Structure 1
Amino acid sequence: MLNEIAFFGALETGLIYGLVAFGIYISFRVLDFPDLTVDGSFPLGAAVAAVLILGGWNPWLATLMAIFAGMAAGAVTALLNVKLNILNLLASILTMIALYSVNLRIMGSPNLALLGDTTVVTWWENQFSRENYYMAPVALFFIVAVVVLVLLWRFMKSELGLSMRATGANPRMARAQGIATGGMIVLGVALSNGLVGMAGALFAQSQGAADVTMGVGVIVIGLASLIGGEALVTPRSVLRALIACVVGAIVYRLAIAFALNADVLGLKAQDLNLITAVLVTLAIVLPGFRTRVQARMTRNKAGRNAS
């Protein structure tokens, strides 16, 4: 079983990865744009925030700059696709590879420590007692996740958001209606990676360090959160889809924490990728299985009524 610290630690990380899931929802679900840039924009946000905080910047301002850096990375990917006609998946891979060198340039070393420096979590920790310090990041990141969720929901209901959704649903029809689909793709992918950059900045401040390799596998975690959340919360509307992102991220992190802390299973930290692969597979398969079961139950009920 999970102890209290491990449980709140999973909640903390899950809320941060909920922001990643928001970004992946925009690119994969809204725009139908497979984007692997997130594996580079996540450590990019961490690197920018860490360097600025060490330089004496206000941590919230540093986080804002991390968002802009992530948006710039996403815009590069989208422009490679829109202006140079490079396949979207390949364009994101090219940007992701380039960001590894960019992140090293920004940090000047493979990692930077933030222990002892003022971060966004510092003030919140001072509001809690020493015994309950681990609850402070959860409270902070919950508020951040709710605020971002509400803002995204309002944005998706706006004229600009509807244009973006139309671009992803039917680009040809969107162009016929006078929508600049190229601009919508650039804006959407930039917004997606801006959210991922913010998640990276918050993750670095939460963990007390930024590392150039911390983005490895983030795309898989985000997809696991997105798909798993949609299996738990049917996304009949944009609001439910955004809620599903957060729920999926939290459930994913809790499942990982439980698997690693359950002595019965005998799993270790090196099994993390295996656990992730199993969870993603289950998240993909279960909705279809549930649909088949419901269809079979409906047929059986109809047969009984007919008899």
Structure 2
Amino acid sequence: MTEIAFFGAVEIGLVYALVALGVFLSFRVLDFPDLTVDGSFPLGAAVAATLIVAGANPWLASLAAVAAGAAAGLVTAVLNVRFRILHLLASILTMIALFSVNLRVMGKPNVAILMQDTVLTPFYGLGLPEHIVRPLFVAVVVLAVVALLARFLASEFGLAMRATGVNARMARAQGVETDTHLYFGIALSNGLVGLAGALFAQTNGFADVTTGIGTIVVGLAAVIVGETVLPLRGMAGALVACVVGSILYRLAVQFALSADAIGLQASDLNLVTAVLVAVALILPRMKMRAASPVAKVAK
């Protein structure tokens, strides 16, 4: 693996770490299987790219992408909470609708921003190569998001949201407005995914309507790999594990596709993803089975 390929994998891993954090909030904190991310990721990219091409400030364009992603998540939450549509079906309906919305936003299947100023443009003149500047910038953004999320989830509102995910009925009995927390949590989750889409568009120089395909699988893979490799206790540790898992996942994919001995090609990306997720799911079970006879002997 070359240096550029390595830093490229780290960069993509950090971008998708935001997706992993969003997926962690919905799947782990709120216990809400949300497939909206397959639509909110390209939505964030589409909104950011379209506004940048129109001459908007890249930072404001990125904030607009966050708001768009949050709005998409809110639609899913409303369909589930207000109209009692099954959460999985509600998210699928929103995801399908967002494909057309993304086409409407961009006006065409893809938008190029290679020649436009982005949030990264001011940092390219610092003397560092571009392939190093990009992952460093995204790393700073991800660290800031992790710190803010850890602080939020430790707050009174965050604890109530976590209680909603653990046992909504008990949380309501304690006076928690579970519907409000569900609205906010799913909106926050997809807002992070929208931010990931905006950064993806600006680091890669384009937004495409098909970039969201398989985003939920990548996010889940990052969460599972992180929990397997770095089983830290506490909410802050779980957030850090998501980031580490995303980076390790992208590095593993890049290594598999770069290894000539294996003979894989770029078209095999989905196969590599499926294998890595399966391995990450199987390893904890194998560890538990290996440890159980020892525990029995100790007794």
Could you say which TM-score interval applies, normalised by the shorter chain? Answer: over 0.9
Matched residue, 2:108: 109
Query: Quick one: structure 1 residues 299 and 70, their matched pair in 2 at CA, closer, same or farther if it must change by over 3 Å?
Result: same
1:140 aligns with 2:137: yes
Paired residues, number: 299
Matched residue, 1:59: 58
Q: For 1:216-235, what aligned pairs fall within 5 Å after superposition?
A: 216-235=213-232
Counterpart among 178, 181, 192 of residue 195 in structure 1: 192
SS at match of 1:50: helix
Matched residue, 2:278: 281
Which piece of structure 1 moves more, 174-183 or 290-299?
Answer: 290-299
Q: For 1:173-184, what aligned pairs fall within 5 Å after superposition?
A: 173-184=170-181
Which piece of structure 1 moves more, 116-125 or 215-224?
Answer: 116-125
> What code does the residue aligned with 2:141 have?
V
SS at match of 1:126: coil
**Per-residue deviation, residues 126-155 of structure 1 (Å, max 9, x unmatched):** 2134xx221001110110010000000000
Matched residue, 2:160: 163
Structure 2 stretches lacking a partner, 5+ long:
none
Matched residue, 2:235: 238
Cα contact 1:233–1:244 (8 A) shared by 2: yes
CA shift at 1:296, angstroms? Answer: 2.7
**Per-residue deviation, residues 218-277 of structure 1 (Å, max 9, x unmatched):** 000000000010001114210110011000000000001000000000000110000000
Counterpart among 250, 265, 289 of residue 262 in structure 2: 265
Matched residue, 2:79: 80
Cα contact 1:128–1:136 (8 A) shared by 2: no
Matched residue, 2:68: 69
Matched residue, 1:3: 2
1:16 aligns with 2:40: no
Which piece of structure 1 moves more, 235-244 or 151-160?
Answer: 235-244
CA shift at 1:122, angstroms? Answer: 1.4
Counterpart among 207, 211, 215 of residue 208 in structure 2: 211
RMSD of aligned Cα (Å):
0.9
CA shift at 1:116, angstroms? Answer: 1.0
Matched residue, 2:126: 127
Structure 1 stretches lacking a partner, 5+ long:
none
- Percent identical among aligned pairs is 59
Matched residue, 2:249: 252
**TM-score normalized by the length of structure 1:** 0.96
CA shift at 1:32, angstroms? Answer: 0.3
CA shift at 1:60, angstroms? Answer: 1.0
Runs of 4 or more off by more than 6 Å in structure 1? none
SS at match of 2:124: helix
**TM-score normalized by the length of structure 2:** 0.98
> What code does the residue aligned with 1:80 have?
L
> What code does the residue aligned with 2:76 have?
T
